[in-house]
């Protein structure tokens, strides 16, 4: 997910600008209402308070927001951390160093190559090369 454009904004506002960016072009507010309903709200008042900066996006809604926009929650977590602690430079650095979902996929692939998990065949598997019912001919 390319979010470099969000670097223009203060850290504590990046989650809101991400949401606004995803909702861009929503003249009739239908996507805004859909997001509100997806998060369990009957009215969009709470989301409007987030957008106006009157309240913060709670952590419990981060996975719902990610799911709604078809994103990985790990991609949004740094924005939420920066929202909560905008003045903590070390936390800000840690948040921006969190691996993205695509990086995690690469890590998992590399681990599977270098640390393969060998699977033994099940008892039900038929193997023509090996028959454990045969007796030794040497007896």
Mind listing the pLDDT tens digit for each residue in 59-84? 999 999 999 999 888 888 888 988 98
* Percent over 90 (pLDDT), the chain: 22
pLDDT of residue 68: 93
The single residue listed with the structure tokens 């099940």 is 122
CA angle 35, 52, 54 (to 5 degrees): 105
**Block residue for tokens 């008892």:** 123
- Output the average pLDDT for the chain: 79
3-state secondary structure of 78: helix
- 130 pLDDT exceeds 80? no
pLDDT for the residue numbered 77 = 87
> Angle formed by the axes of helices 101-114 and 73-84, to 10°?
130
**pLDDT score of 57 more than 90:** yes
Nearest partner of 95 among 110, 111, 107, 83, judged by Cα: 83
Over residues 95-126, the pLDDT tens digits come to 777 677 777 788 778 777 776 665 555 666 55
Q: Which of 10-14, 81-85, 135-139 has the lowest mean pLDDT?
A: 135-139
pLDDT for the residue numbered 136: 53
Percent of the chain with pLDDT over 70: 76
Give residues with Cβ within 8 angstroms of 122, minimum separation 6: none
Between 14-22 and 73-84, two packed helices, what is the crossing angle to 10 degrees?
Answer: 140
């Amino acid at each position: 997910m390319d979010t470099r454009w969000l670097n223009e904004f203060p850290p504590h506002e990046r989650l809101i600008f991400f949401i606004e960016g995803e909702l861009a072009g929503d003249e009739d507010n239908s996507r805004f209402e859909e997001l509100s309903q997806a998060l369990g709200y009957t009215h969009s008042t709470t989301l409007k308070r987030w957008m106006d900066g009157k309240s913060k996006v709670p952590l419990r809604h981060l996975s719902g927001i990610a799911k709604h926009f078809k994103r990985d929650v790990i991609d949004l977590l740094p924005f939420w951390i920066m929202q909560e602690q905008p003045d903590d430079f070390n936390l800000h650095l840690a948040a921006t160093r969190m691996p993205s979902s695509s990086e995690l996929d690469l890590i998992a692939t590399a681990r599977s190559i270098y640390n393969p998990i060998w699977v033994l065949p099940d008892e039900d598997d038929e193997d023509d090369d090996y028959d454990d019912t045969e007796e030794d001919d040497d007896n």
